[in-house]
């Protein structure tokens, strides 16, 4: 594992990493938003390590007309306030509203990462980590040369080494606590 420090950027998927993923549906309001167990504590720990913490999330719900961009922005502002109340931070959230899998901004395509680098020119992708709970997140990270962390409680027995996954943990908190022990 690399020695992470403030020169590194942390990219996080949202659903299934920060909040509980709504299987077969979408989180459309703060009332439906439930933080993953330990996620708030993890974000407090991770903000001490990484220079930038960015969320990259596919949000088809906007493209499907279930949520407006304003409603999604409001949900994200609420989420960030809750994270900040617990001592964590998210520096910016990037989302792809498109429905089409081929959209250049939709993970695993690189559009959101390229936008992040335009906004934060000091981002170097080989000094970045992608944490996600889907292999599309891992492919997104690997395509850009990032270190990848797969968080998924049912996949902790994932056969390693894996071509897309550098590390596997049951959740974000388990990885953040491991970092605290080794850094």
> Which of 13, 98, 137, 171 is flagged as catalytic?
13
The answer to whether the Cα torsion of 122, 126, 128, 130 is positive or negative is: positive
Let me know if 166 is a catalytic residue: no
Let me know if 137 is a catalytic residue: no
Q: Rounded to an integer, what is the distance from CA 160 to the centroid of its chain?
A: 21
Q: What span, in angstroms and rounded, lies between the C-alpha atoms of 99 and 86?
A: 33
> Which of 15, 137, 166, 171 is flagged as catalytic?
15
Q: What span, in angstroms and rounded, lies between the C-alpha atoms of 152 and 97?
A: 24
DSSP secondary structure, 56-121, as one string: EEE-HHHHTTSS-HHHHHHHHHHHHHHHHHTT----EEEEE----TT-TTSTTSSHHHHHHHHHST
**CA-based Rg of the chain, rounded to a whole angstrom?**
15
The answer to whether the Cα torsion of 47, 153, 177, 131 is positive or negative is: negative
Active site residues: 13, 15
């Amino acid at each position: 594992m690399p020695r992470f420090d403030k020169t590194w950027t942390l990219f996080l998927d949202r659903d299934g990493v920060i909040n509980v993923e709504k299987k077969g549906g979408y989180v459309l309001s703060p009332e439906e938003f439930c933080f993953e167990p330990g996620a708030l504590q993890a974000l407090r720990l991770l903000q001490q390590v990484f220079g930038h913490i960015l969320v990259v999330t596919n949000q088809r719900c906007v493209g499907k007309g279930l949520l407006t961009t304003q409603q999604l922005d409001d949900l994200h502002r609420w989420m960030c306030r809750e994270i900040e109340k617990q001592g964590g931070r998210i520096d910016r959230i990037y989302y792809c509203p498109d429905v089409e899998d081929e959209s250049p901004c939709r993970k695993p395509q690189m559009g959101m990462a390229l936008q992040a680098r335009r906004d934060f020119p000091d981002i170097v992708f080989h000094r970045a980590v992608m944490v996600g709970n889907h292999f599309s997140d891992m492919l997104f990270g690997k395509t850009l040369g990032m270190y990848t962390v797969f968080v998924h409680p049912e996949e902790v027995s994932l056969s390693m080494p894996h071509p897309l996954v550098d590390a596997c943990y049951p959740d974000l908190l388990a990885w953040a606590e491991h970092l605290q022990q080794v850094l």
